[in-house]
Structure 1
Amino acid sequence: MNWIKDLISPETRSWEEFYRNRWQHDKVVRSTHGVNCTGGCSWDIYIKQGIVTWEMQALDYPLLEDGLPPYEPRGCQRGISYSWYLYSPIRVKYPYVRGALLDLWREAKAIHDDPVEAWESIVSNKESRARYQRARGKGGFRRGSWEELQELIAAATIHTIKKHGSDRVVGFSPIPAMSFLSYGAGSRFLQLLGGVNLSFYDWYSDLPPASPEVWGDQTDVAESADWYNSKFLAVMGSNLNMTRTPDCHFAAESRHNGTKMVVLAPDFSQVSKYADQWIPLNAGQDGAFWMAVNHVILKEFHHQKQTPYFLNYLKRYTDSPFLVRLEAVSYT
């Protein structure tokens, strides 16, 4: 084990060479991490012979306005280790297709010269169609070539349009924050084709319509720096330290600015340490809690005491005016 002693010896200090070598880069480029993150942090990427060697947070953000804390440093542990993912042996670098479908496609291609006819022979045959459909959800993916799978996708798309119409082609492009180019390319393709472009936001159940109906705003519309201007923050359903790491410093700085914070979470999460009060709601209690909050607000600012500011907000930004029925209705 003498080599370990030599490595950490305060006399040789050979361990420092690792960090010195990191600075032997050829160039520095600007980039970000498109991984479905709302942060969009700016990073300096250090390149050596075309290989990403390491990353560093950029520190040249403009100051938004006087009185607000600076944005930098912005980044997280996931971002600074992103270069490891680029060269990871488990990174998916090739197209994969379910094995049952790949076998059917190759069998059909051996019989039919026209790819569209080959695909039609698969879907029009009940046995072959059921064969690849039953394989769904069971894994079994196999690597294919780009040319082969592009031909399969094109054949399936053309056959569907010819038989059912272009509006039967439905696509789901990556989330914009995940990959801007892939999202733009996929969405544009569907629009030009006349297909249906599903939005990632549609998958959030009742959230897209419910948020503007109740609050008057779409979800997550506030700039994170504006937390600093708030006098009261209610944090729920978001562990800021983990899910909004680049912005979390605004929450900590707002506390120094006198902002009161209440965290509602079943566990004492990381963001709870910032809170003036932690309310340990159990799963399923959040709806009842906020109904009680609404009851108190309506009772004190609407029923017992008419508050003009509150009433104006209700009329302009909520669905409250549509919940009133003037005629008597019996529900018995």
Structure 2
Amino acid sequence: MKKFGRRTFLKATAAAAVVSSVPLYVSLDDYKKAASESPVKKIPTFCHGCTSYCGIIASVKNDRVWKVEGHPIHLKSRGKMCARGHGMAAYLYSKDRITGPMKRVGEGEFQPISWDQAFTEIAEKLNKIVNKYSGNSVVWLEHGTHRQAYVQRLLDVIGSPNFTTQYSTCFNAKTNAWKQMTGTSLNGDHLNSKYMIFEGRNFAGGIIPNGMNHITKAKENGAKIIVIDPRYSEIAKLADDWIPIRPGTDLAFRLALANVLISENLYNKAFVRKYVDGFDQFKLENKQYTPEWAEAITDIPARKIREIARNFAKYAPQAFIEPGWHGLHAHYKNSTETAQMGIILNALVGNFYQKGGLMPSASITLGHLQLPALENLPEKGERIDGAGVSGKYRTVEPARGIAHITPKLVKDGLAKALFVCNYNPLRTAPNPEEQKQIKEAELVVSINIDWNETSYYAADYILPEHYYLERLEHPYTVSGHISHASPQISLRQPVVKPLHDTKDTLSILKGIASAMGYPDLYPFTVEDDVKAAIEPLGITFDQLKEAGTLEFPPTVKPGFPMKKGKPALPTKTGKIQFSADLFRVDGKQGIPRWVEPLVSPNPSKDDEFRLIHGKQPWHSHAMTTNIDQLMQITERYDGTFMWMNANRAAKLGIRTGDTVVVKNKQAEKKVKVKVTELLHPDAVWLPSTYGGFSPKNKTAYNVGINFNDFAPVMVEELSGTTMVQEVVVSVRKEGI
């Protein structure tokens, strides 16, 4: 693997691409002279290295990206960028990108075809499927919702309710709890806080540059940072106190914190009386969850639980438990109850809509295209994954779906056609061997940029999308993760011309729809959409293109939402509901109670561990694994190594650098080990990034192992999440 300096890898990639494009009749000296005299254009857009979508500015020379840097205005970046952002920009020039439409002609064999042929064949097969089985048999799977407004028109005309995000593998428990209990979502006001608890939330691993800037500034101003995590994560390096909790027991810890706040009269009575519904019921139920009870479960001493609860109340309302993201919210049988308790604890100290506590992200209302109404639409049935459906997964958010059970939908004959867009379930969902079975659907179309596992093993057709630096998209209202008073709007726009025979998603949808017999389904361009979206804002398309990100006057002030003197959250009571109506199923009260983890390692077996995982600061799960420059960082820091507690490793005769065999009923893999005291003894920890198994993604191929290799497909009943840390493995030194 060729070595690049951290500051030069983008330049080297771009320069190589420039030289390779020199016509033979131009001398290299002449070209170098002309190239050196060409102007550098600085074009703003936003990153695609993770779902933070930080604003960036690309320096472009001779239609080649020379470097990228953080946008100075954008809320998430404020002039800074992480390694992932740099790596993603370099991947524009990767040789592993798919350069045109592909059709499967055999196992691992594909034939280049024209766009017209691809549209014609896909449309013919899709029409047959819809006519034979109905539109309910068609599923669109996507990472996020960026393309949903466009996709929904096609799903409407064929009668499919099955737009499905990847969120069941990420944070459904969090969003579901917040929706049911508050009707909204708030973020920590890190910059103004005096006491921050990061529990299962590695803010420094899932980097938001300006978010970390807020946290470090708050610490410089005297804020206390408490990290509760089985592993000494990157955010723990900033902590005043790192507390290694037994994995899977965060719910017990939170229940005990609430017990202390209530039993010692530390909670904000005035706030609770005015803005909370269901407190008395919760108080009665919570009496049993003492710190002593929690100590036996969590491994956190009762005195420490009391100390944290008292300090939390002392610094409130300029204190919060970080609402989190992926962290605790896809991992365990009790993830939804854990998310509920996060809301309850923050409410008990009265930090909602308080500076230094929890505050909303400023929002702004965009316009939309005035399109002719679609007529004579077929009736849609229920979602085939059961999300939001009585008798199935009634409490799961139907707008998000349950992506990881798609193989079962195919096996049961419910899903006949799959479109997989900007998403790679074969690597990022549990049990890749089971995920491979989506290939048994009658039609699988992958809309991605490279030869990821889903494209290589499952797709009948691969339709390559423009890279994020090559395309224009619907404007993005900047929000999430960190609080901010002033709304922002950001534009993703092309900074270079497309390098290959690729298309944007709207053009792909237009081609399929037209070939299906719906030539007028999309009577607009992306530029039309952008102009309609910004029309109410009093700005022009050219102004937004030039700025990349625009900020508007502040719209957010501290203070609980009120209407006619009464609390006005979008809930049934207008208040924070400690008892969530939708969760009152099967005789439950809707308030969080202790729920045991689904599985636990046997304490009498020295070789059994709970398998947990997390992010690394230079990778976004499996999304960035094929980027050579980022994998060089992995190589430098032994990033593929599995962490193991030092005392447990000693009992097994394992040292750092040893190769071990990790095994359960589903998989058996080999990996090298990092022995450390910075991990709870019950667990072994893997980074979430590695284990690529597509031979055409050469950098990622066969590097490291992945937690999903060992995780069966499971569905947490309240929010539909994957429960991927409900996994026990045995570990032994290779050769023993």
TM norm structure 2: 0.31
**Distance (Å, rounded) in 1 between the aligned partners of 2:576 and 2:51:** 28
Counterpart position of 1:82: 88
2:81 and 2:268 map into 1 onto residues whose CA distance is 46
Mapping for residues 236-251 of structure 1, pairs under 5 Å: 236-246=199-209, 247-251=211-215
Alpha-carbon separation, structure 2, partners of 1:283 and 1:191: 43
In structure 2, the CA distance between the partners of 1:299 and 1:245, relative to structure 1 (3 Å rule), is: same
Q: How do residues 20-35 of structure 1 correspond to structure 2 at under 5 angstroms? A: 25-35=39-49
- Other-structure match for 1:312: 274
* Aligned residue among 110, 123, 131 for 1:142: 110
Name the residue aligned to 1:292: 256
**Whose strand proportion is higher, 1 or 2?**
2
Residues 50-81 of structure 1 deviation map (CA, whole Å, 9 limit, x = unaligned): 111211223245xx9xxxxx962332111123
Q: d(CA) in 1 for partners of 2:276 and 2:190?
A: 23
Residue ranges of structure 2 left out of the alignment (5+ in a row): 1-34, 278-574, 590-736
Alpha-carbon deviations, 1:18-65, whole Å to 9, x = none? Answer: xxx999644221111134422x3222211122111211223245xx9x
Aligned to 1:153: 122
Structure 1 partner of 2:228: 264
Distance, in Å, in 1 between the alignment partners of 2:81 and 2:36 is 20
8 Å contact from structure 1 (residues 191, 197) kept in 2: no
**1:53-110 C-alpha deviation (Å, 9 max, x unpaired):** 211223245xx9xxxxx9623321111233310001122334455545xxxxxxxxxx
Q: 1:87 to 1:321 in 2, by over 3 A?
A: closer
On the 8 A contact 1:172/1:199 being kept in 2, the answer is yes
Question: In the alignment, does 2:59 pair up with 1:46?
Answer: yes
- Greater helix content: 1
1:242 is paired with a residue of what secondary structure? coil
How much has 1:290 moved relative to structure 2?
Answer: 1.6
In structure 1, distance between residues paired with 2:166 and 2:270? 35
Query: What's the secondary structure of 1:250's corresponding residue?
Result: helix
SS state at 1:170 partner: strand
Indicate how the Cα distance of structure 1 residues 23 and 243 shifts in structure 2: closer, same or farther if over 3 A, else same: farther
CA contact (8 A) 2:227 2:235 kept: yes
How far has the Cα of 1:192 moved from its partner? 4.3
Residue correspondence of structure 1 range 199-214 to structure 2 within 5 A: 199-200=164-165, 203=168, 204-214=171-181
Report if the CA contact (8 A) 1:171-1:196 is conserved.
no
Task: Report the AA paired with residue 262 of structure 1.
Answer: I
**Distance between the aligned counterparts of 1:153 and 1:286, measured in 2?**
47
Count of aligned pairs: 250
Q: Is the 8 A contact 1:262 1:277 kept in 2?
A: yes
Alignment counterpart, residue 232 of structure 1, candidates 195, 200, 207: 195
Residues 271 and 174 of structure 1: CA distance in aligned 2, closer, same or farther (over 3 Å): closer
Task: Give the one of 51, 58, 68 matched to 2:71.
Answer: 58
Query: What per-residue deviation string (whole Å, max 9, x for no partner) do you get for residues 233-261 of structure 1?
Result: 11122221220332211111122233222
Structure 1 residue identity aligned to 2:250:
D
1:175 aligns with 2:189: no
- Structure 2 vs 1, CA of residues 300 and 140 (structure 1 numbering), >3 Å: closer, same or farther? farther
Contact kept? 2:44, 2:58, Cα under 8 Å: yes
Structure 2: which amino acid aligns with 1:169? V
- The CA deviation at 1:155 is 2.0
Aligned to 1:235, what secondary structure does the other structure show?
strand
Residue 278 (structure 1) shift: 1.0
Map of 2:246 onto structure 1: 282
| CA drift at 1:271 | 0.7
Secondary structure of residue in 1 paired with 2:57: strand
Larger radius of gyration: 1
Q: 1:317 to 1:199 in 2, by over 3 A?
A: farther
Whole-Å separation in 2 of the counterparts to 1:144 and 1:282: 51
User: Which residue identity does 1:264 align to in structure 2?
Assistant: I
Of 124, 146, 154, the residue aligned with 1:189 is 154
How far apart, CA to CA, are the structure 2 residues paired with 1:309 and 1:73?
38
Does the 8 Å CA contact 1:202/1:208 hold for their aligned counterparts?
no
**Alpha-carbon offset, residue 263 of structure 1:** 0.8
Please, which runs of 5 or more residues in structure 1 have no aligned partner? 1-20, 65-69, 101-138, 326-332
Q: Percent identity?
A: 22
CA contact 1:94–1:143 (8 Å) conserved in 2: no
Asked if the contact 1:171/1:195 (under 8 Å) is kept, the reply is: no
Change (3 A) 1:276 1:230: same
Q: Structure 2: how far apart are the matches of 1:75 and 1:233?
A: 24
Give the AA of the match of 2:152. S
Deviates more, 1:155-164 or 1:145-154: 145-154
Q: CA 1:306–1:31 in 2, change beyond 3 Å: closer, same or farther?
A: closer
Tell me, what secondary structure is at the counterpart of 2:42?
strand
The equivalent position to 2:131 in structure 1, one of 157, 162, 183, is: 162
Aligned-residue CA RMSD in angstroms?
3.4
- TM-score, normalised relative to structure 1: 0.63
Distance 1:83 1:36, change over 3 A: closer
Does the 8 Å CA contact 2:59/2:67 hold for their aligned counterparts? yes
Structure 1 56/74 Cα, relative in aligned 2: closer, same or farther at 3 Å?
closer
Q: State how far apart, in whole Å, the 1-side matches of 2:54 and 2:139 are.
A: 32
